[in-house]
Amino acid sequence: MKVLVTGASGLLGGAVAAAVRDAGHDVRTFQRRPSGVTGVEDVLGSVTDRADVERAVADVDAAIHLAAKVSFAGDPADFVRVNVEGTRTLLRALRRAGAGRLVFVSSPSVAHAGESIVGDDASPADPENARGDYARTKAQAEVLALAADSPELRVVAVRPHIVWGPGDTQLVERVVERARAGRLPLLDHGAALIDSTYVDNAASAILAALYRVDAVHGNAYVVTNGEPRPVAELLAGICAAAGVRAPAWRVPARVARAAGSAIEGVWRVRPGEDEPPMTRFLAEQLSTAHWFDQRRTRTDLEWEPSVSIDDGLRRLAAHYLP
């Protein structure tokens, strides 16, 4: 099978491209810079450019769509352009090219409205109530993708939750840098239970969804390790792996949420060079429980995670060894 993987220059996209390659398939990647994955065909371009997308989808049998604008801040129009319109452009191109399968890689944030999630399954994507530009536009894109599901183009959405691992710049690197600088607080007592997903498990689940799409198309699945941990424990594990002191100072969650809203307003007018130190969405993620029932995911996708949280932390520690 010839499989297109978009967004393969990121941590998860690269792991997915490698997993599909190792399963014996012909892999083409599509993103703005080289993927760095050996043994695949790189096509450079943007999901916002119709000609680039049509070049990328030529002759493929299936696609795994990970390319997205992932950020806590930025111009709202950029999120729409990449996440929503880019997905729309890809869907049209796949239909014209006759590709039969699409795994749309989404996020549990598409159905998170700021309250705790305690053992829920995958709720419908909710663009109206999702928090932040990223979550709202990913929700819109997932709605588009699943609406395109048909006998000719079978679509399944997979929502890996808090993906991390060696080389991760989105979560691990920021946690380590802020902890090292003493700028990483615990909200309340850091006791909220959260699920996370080691990167190899997320990649294998997405590959499983590709194989099972004929049976499960039209559905959305949350993917996690199935090992919820208190926020403080997970952050401490990441910090220990990197050899930095775990966060010990606390901020009330209500204060962090108010501060996050204020910082978002400032960032829209005068954006900084990096991500804002706090947003309302981030404060909600760090102070509310969000762990998920994995029974339907594992049964329908015929998948189980192979790397435990503790094994993942040991691999992370090895990554940080001098």
Residue 206 token pair: 């997405």
Give the containing element (helix H, strand E) for 154: strand 154-160
Q: How far apart are CA 265 and CA 271, in angstroms?
A: 9
Question: Coil, strand, or helix at residue 240?
Answer: helix
* DSSP string computed for 83-119: IIIHHHHHHHHHHHHT--EEEEE--GGGG--SS-EEE
Question: Coil, strand, or helix at residue 316?
Answer: helix
Q: Please identify every residue annotated as catalytic.
A: 134
Give the containing element (helix H, strand E) for 41: strand 41-44
Q: How far apart are CA 83 and CA 40, in angstroms?
A: 24
Residue 144 token pair: 């588009």
Residue 288 token pair: 């509310």
Q: Are 223 and 202 in contact (CB under 8 A)?
A: yes
Which burial class, exposed, middle or buried, applies to 317 when counting CB atoms under 10 A from its CB (0-12, 13-18, 19+)?
middle
163: β partners: 197
In the block, tokens 């010839």 appear at: 2
